[in-house]
Amino acid sequence: MSLTIETRAAGTTTPAIAPALRVRDLVTEFRGRYGAVRAVDGVSFTVPRGSVLAVIGESGSGKSAMLRSIIGINPPTTLVTGEISVGGRDLQTMSPRDRRTARGSDVSMVFQDPLTALDPVYTVEKQLVEAIRKHHEGLDKAQARQRALELLELVRIPSAAARLKAYPSELSGGMRQRVVIAMAIAGRPTVLLADEPTTALDVTVQARMMRLFRQIQRDIDMGLVIVTHDLGVAAELADEVAVMYAGRFVEHGTATQVLTRPSHPYTEGLIEANVRAGQDRRPNAIPGAPPSLDQLPPGCAFAPRCRYAVSACWDVRPITQLVGDGHSSSCLLAS
């Protein structure tokens, strides 16, 4: 099959060394009638081109909020600060219009539930063509259709030509997720964000989908940030793993470092829970529940649930420290 999505020519508009995604001190606050909730609280990381970052963490830790802030689709009342650079272009300082057109071409997103992610009243082709023409203004309809077909082949949808004419409701969940992915890469994004892209699919489809992500990500040489509850996926797919808790990265390093030599007690707990949980991949077996974001304790947010906690943990907010080469942890006791 011909590779129709060529890699971005290095050095044309941006220096080749610019990482796919660079995030510095990202803060996301949802402002509501009853005050503000800080869902993301000072997160920094870098995703090189062709590399995969997996983000793990319990429900409510701010993973989705982080991805939404990066692509910029939070509700208008949301306050997002910090630096978000994609391929060296700072999204935060762009005009609203440029920020919008950056969606789909600089940064794309795949959502959790493929069953509801597509517009039910348009055919797959219409939706793909819409995305393609948004980001390739020179293409006429016929060329865009041809490209839609190639995209479906790229995400390995069998009998792609027939699928183009289908409505989303006529496709299985796995097929729909492939369409969603095809749409997300239609504008040749520099970085792709995937928010639990397989959680809604059944287990056999999950593995295939993960392989697809790997292949596509190599093909296009894009950065990939994938949120997952499945540590197996993280181990298999990711170059780096970040562990999120109460809006912060509490541990971050290579997949091997984080998953085999965890430094933070929370990571340790997630790994144990994942082993125990077996098929049911939701890591929910750490005693206690994540803290409510509007009343975080003054010290370490994990202290109330931590089996190693000493009294200092309750009072001092731990800073992030290096515990190995490129391996960082926010635990007072880490060394």
Partner 1 sequence: MLRVAVLRISMAVPILFGVSVIVFLLMNVLPGSAEASLVSDDMSAAERQAIRDELGLNDPLPLRYLHWLGDALQGNLGYSAQRRRDVSDLLMQAWGNTAVLALVSAVFGISLGLWLGYVAGTRRGTLIDRLTGVLSLSGLSIPSFFLAIILLAVFAGWLRLLPSGGANLDSGLLMALRSLVLPVLSGSLITMAITARVTRASIVDVAGADFVETLRAKGLSEWEVRRHILRNAISPVLTTSGVQIGALLGGSVLVETIFRWPGMGLLVFTAISARDLLVVQGATLVIAVTFVLLNLVVDLLQAWIDPRVRGAVS
**Residue bearing tokens 């994004």:** 189
Among 21, 26, 53, 102, binds partner 1 (CB under 8 A): 102
Helical H segments across 6-49, by residue range: none
Partner whose binding site includes residue 183, from ligand ATP, partner 1, Mg ion, none (CB under 5 to 8 Å by kind): partner 1
Q: Which of residues 172-191 bind partner 1 (CB under 8 A)?
A: 180, 183-184, 186-187
Task: Name the nearest CA neighbour of 271 among 285, 291, 290, 288.
Answer: 285
Among 61, 64, 69, 267, binds Mg ion (CB under 5 A): 64
Q: Which does 9 bind (CB under 5 to 8 A by kind): Mg ion, partner 1, ligand ATP, none?
A: none
Residue 12 Cα to chain centre, angstroms = 27
What phi and psi values does residue 84 have, to the nearest 5 degrees? Answer: -130, 105
Q: Which of 214, 281, 285, 296 is nearest to 247 (CA)?
A: 296
Count the helix, strand and coil residues of the chain and give each as a percent rounded to the nearest 5.
Answer: 35, 20, 40
CB of 293 to Mg ion, least distance (A): 14
- 98 vs 315, which CB is nearer to partner 1? 98
82, 92 Cβ separation under 8 angstroms: yes
- Candidates 187, 135, 21; CA nearest to 89 is 21
Closest distance of CB 74 from ligand ATP, Å: 7
Q: 135: left (phi > 0), else alpha (psi -120 to 50), else beta? A: alpha
User: Per rule CB under 8 A, is residue 321 in the interface with partner 1?
Assistant: no
With contacts defined by CB under 8 A, how many residues of the chain interact with partner 1?
32
Of Mg ion, ligand ATP, partner 1, none, which one does residue 104 interact with (CB within 5 to 8 Å by kind)?
partner 1
Q: Which is nearer to Mg ion, 41 or 125 (CB)?
A: 41
Residue (169 or 215) nearer to partner 1, CB: 169
- Please report, as ranges, the residues that interact with partner 1 according to CB under 8 A: 71, 73, 100-105, 108-109, 111, 113, 116-123, 130-131, 134-135, 167, 169-170, 180, 183-184, 186-187
- Please report, as ranges, the residues that interact with Mg ion according to CB under 5 A: 64
